Chain A
Amino acid sequence: MNINLTLIGQMVAFVAFVAFCMRYVWPPIVAAMAERQQKISEGLAAADRASHDLDLAKQEAAKKLSEAKKEAAAIVESANKRASQIVDESKQAAIVEADRVKAAATAEIEQERARTQEQLMAKVSELAVAGAEKILAQEIDAGKHEQLLKQLISEA
């Protein structure tokens, strides 16, 4: 157990190593560790934020989806309504048109019938006059009785 110069030597070495550690070892390591800590906590915060954002986006998406569904349902409903309306309208129009066509046809038929009747009347009266002419021959003056016959036709 000899105390000697080794004591001094060790003290000098001690000071040197502590100084070295203080200058070159401790600050960079601690700084790097602090920086990493900062980075990790930032990363965790960002992850939290991102998952929060994701939740919000999901909610938003669900809302949009249900809105779209509602809208689609409304569109389908209105389309149905419109379709039946169109069908009704066309039915109505068809009926009207049919009536109109029928009326026109009836009118035409009526007209035709009247004209035919008129012609037939004229023919019949001509035939009657011709027959009567042949029967009566000379006794009957065509000029004198034509007035009478025309009056008869217009009365008919």
Chain B
Amino acid sequence: MAGNGQEQTVSEYIVHHLTNLTLGKLPGGFERADGSIVAEGGEWTFAHGGQEIAAMGFNAIHVDSMIWSIGLGVIFCWLFARVAKNASADTPSGLINAVEMVVEFVDGTVKDTFHGRNPLIAPLALTVFVWVFLMNLMDLIPVDLIPHTLMLAGVDYQKIVPSTDPNITMGMALGVFILMVYYSIKVKGFGFVKELTLNPFNHPVFIPINLFMEVVGLLAKPFSLGLRLFGNMYAGEMIFILIAALFGAGVMWLLPAGLLQVGWAIFHILVITLQAFIFMVLTIVYLSMAHEDH
């Protein structure tokens, strides 16, 4: 169990694991966890504990989520760009084969689902799939390994699975949402407004009702997209943490906890792949709907 000297309760352990390394602006006059008072005009600092994070509000950034997420994105880009540089019509081998398999899989899915012509969709789907998969993959690293190692190095909090942070999943979902709205307007023009106001009841009287229903439906798409991924990964991570906590419950729990750990990890391999795939497919489907002119 992660601990920094003093004894930790299980709930403290869990809460600690679910807290991001947050850099944010504390408001002036705020009393910090160590008793000091923040100077007038506020102060940018790393948060200690949930209260400080809550006080920071929107003016904060999850440093760990950003580093891991961007780091994994860079790994994706570096790996695939290297293959792209070496790609040729000759016999492929090793890494090139693996990458081409992924590309072909994504290409097939896009061609099955998206019937318009847009050079953005396939690269977008590939990025979404591989990036989300890599972020989810961090879930399979033992929960204490990196946070505890970093804690010994002086970093208090560390969440290494970016997709268990709603900011990350919602950030991607909002990106997709902006594209949806953009292409809806670009492809349908005024038809998009008609779609929002004259569906499902095609009568002027019902315009407010239609508008309300359609807007809710439209907004539900990015929310469900982002929160589905977040919920799945958060729950999976939580179970890993609980299993890890079980290891600390006593010697007799070692074997059951070990079996649970292995079983859940194996099951989770399916979950992370499936969630990455679902995120990709829904991205394609939503953008496909945005391109369809009725």
Contact = CB atoms under 8 A, between A and B. Distances in A.
B89 A8 contact: no
Interface stretch (B27-35, B118-126, B180-188, B259-267): B118-126
A5 interface: yes
Contacts, number: 134
B54 interface: yes
B225 to A, nearest CB: 13
B239 interface: no
Given A4-B59, A5-B59, A17-B77, A11 B174 contact: yes
Interface stretch (B78-86, B204-212, B240-248): B78-86
Contacts of B84: 24-29
B171 A6 contact: yes
| Contact size range, B | 35 or more
B104 interface: yes
Contacts of B172: 10-11, 14
A7 B103 CA distance: 28
B17 to A, nearest CB: 15
Interface in B32-76: 53-54, 56-62, 65-66, 69-70, 73, 76
Contact of A17 (B56, B103, B127): B127
A2 interface: yes
Given A4-B167, A6-B66, A13-B69, A22 B120 contact: yes
Interface of B: 20, 22, 24, 53-54, 56-62, 65-66, 69-70, 73, 76-77, 80-81, 83-85, 87-90, 92, 99-100, 103-104, 107, 119-120, 122-124, 126-127, 131, 165-168, 170-172, 174-175
12 contacts: A2-B60, A3-B170, A6-B65, A11-B171, A14-B127, A17-B77, A18-B120, A18-B124, A22-B120, A26-B103, A27-B84, A30-B107
